[in-house]
Amino acid sequence: MKEKTSVEQTMRDIRRHTRKQYSAEENIRIVLEGLRGEDSIAELCR
């Protein structure tokens, strides 16, 4: 069981380090696009 936990932790670490990080300006742009309602939330998430 310990090995499984280690593998799961390793996978979480990999996902955490490869996750896209957006700048503050990019976050604001995405939120404003969502508030305008021109695109669906799913499209914005992509």
Calculate the average pLDDT of the chain.
Answer: 83
The domain ranges of the chain are 2-45
pLDDT of 38 above 70: yes
pLDDT, greater one: 27 or 3: 27
Rounded to whole angstroms, what are the CA distances from 26 to 17, 31, 43? 19, 9, 15
| Number of helical H runs and strand E runs in the chain | 3, 0
Query: Quick check: pTM over 0.85?
Result: no
For residues 44 and 30, give the distance between their C-alpha atoms in angstroms, rounded to a whole number. Answer: 7
